[in-house]
Structure 1
Amino acid sequence: MTGQNLVIRRAREDDLRNLVALFADDAVGGHGDTNDPEAFEDYLRAFHSIDTASHEQLFVAELQGEVVGTFQLTYYRTLAGRGAVNLRIEAVQTRSDRRGQGIGAKMITHALEEGRRHGCKAAYLTSNNARTDAHRFYERLGFVKSHAGFKMPLK
């Protein structure tokens, strides 16, 4: 397990190439992420949109100066639940050579602490059906499979 040297902090623009590499290395995600330099402007625009939004936060996990993980948080209010604020955890990635070292658990713990700090009623996340190891990981952390998720491409 990774020691106390893991730092979880807000992502900065200079982290972006490392974050893109994390997503491009994900064979299961199927999001079309790429290290192609021509795509970098798309990532840069997205980063600035997330970074300036009051209801979104992008984090990195850093170990000895290297980005080894990331996750994104979105806070949203619903009319159901008497106007509850909920937390959505997205884009959880640990660098492939660093999996199994406790980094993911620390990132999720940090995400849940942020949700509590923002007064969230519940935390939600989705995970690709093919990620059975990730499902066991989330269940070990206390998440419950309570809903079925659906997706429809709009382009």
Structure 2
Amino acid sequence: MEKIVETSLLIREAREDDLPELIAMFAADDLGGHGDTNDPAALSGYARAFAAVAASPDQTLYVAERGSEVVGTFQTMITTSLTARGSSSMIIEAVQTRGDMRGQGIGARMMEFAIAEAKGRGMRMVQLTSNAKRKDAHRFYERLGFKPSHLGFKMALK
């Protein structure tokens, strides 16, 4: 049986009514280790985070939509630093393609969109981090032209 893949993909800013699909996508990610959950008791935390991102002029949460379904997401953040002569960069985070939709070019389209946004806004660079365990994701990002250049460190505070 041949799988038919619809190719139309809309990338748009996320809306609050996308939260259930976004939460489900993150909760299904066993490798991420962020503790995401579909538990209704956690919804208020997600809603607070969504409101904070939506209110920020330097952050945008996007979804990739195929038909009427959210099939991917990513978030961008703009940061300006005194280094590099005061230039600005775009950070891409929380990149996720729904598990059953991987391998269909959705992630590449989301990254192309983010890169085009960064270029259009005159950013010096785009950068992202990826969980060290995500070897497939690392190969994906390198195919898109990203170079592993820095070693990241994190400290959990909660």
Question: TM bucket by the smaller chain?
Answer: over 0.9
Name 2:29's counterpart in structure 1: 26
Q: Counterparts of 1:98 and 1:3 in 2: how far apart (Å)?
A: 11
Name 1:130's counterpart in structure 2: 133
Q: Is 1:53–2:77 an aligned residue pair?
A: no
> Secondary structure, in 3 states, of the residue corresponding to 1:60?
strand
Aligned residues: 155
> Secondary structure, in 3 states, of the residue corresponding to 2:118?
helix
Gaps of at least 5 residues in structure 1 are none
Q: Counterparts of 1:117 and 1:85 in 2: how far apart (Å)?
A: 12
Note the 1:1-155 alignment, pairs <5 A: 4-155=7-158
CA 1:14–1:147 in 2, change beyond 3 Å: closer, same or farther? same
> Secondary structure, in 3 states, of the residue corresponding to 2:49?
helix
More displaced stretch, 133-142 vs 112-121 = 112-121
Q: Counterparts of 1:3 and 1:115 in 2: how far apart (Å)?
A: 27
> Secondary structure, in 3 states, of the residue corresponding to 1:151?
coil
> Secondary structure, in 3 states, of the residue corresponding to 1:127?
coil
CA 1:2–1:110 in 2, change beyond 3 Å: closer, same or farther? farther
Q: Counterparts of 1:80 and 1:22 in 2: how far apart (Å)?
A: 36
Q: Counterparts of 1:72 and 1:55 in 2: how far apart (Å)?
A: 11
Question: Which stretches of structure 1, 4 residues or longer, exceed 6 Å deviation after superposition?
Answer: none
> Secondary structure, in 3 states, of the residue corresponding to 2:38?
coil
Q: Scaled by the length of structure 2, what TM-score is found? A: 0.95
Q: CA deviation at 1:119?
A: 1.2
Q: Percent identity?
A: 55
> Secondary structure, in 3 states, of the residue corresponding to 2:146?
coil
CA 1:74–1:29 in 2, change beyond 3 Å: closer, same or farther? same
Q: Counterparts of 1:8 and 1:39 in 2: how far apart (Å)?
A: 26
What letter matches 2:157 in structure 1?
A: L
> Secondary structure, in 3 states, of the residue corresponding to 2:62?
strand
Please tell me whether the aligned partners of residues 2 and 103 of structure 1 are also in contact (alpha carbons under 8 angstroms).
no
Give me the CA root mean square deviation.
Answer: 1.1
Q: Deviations over 1:49-107 (max 9, x none)?
A: 10110000000000011000000000010000000100000000000000000000000
Q: Counterparts of 2:143 and 2:100 in 1: how far apart (Å)?
A: 21
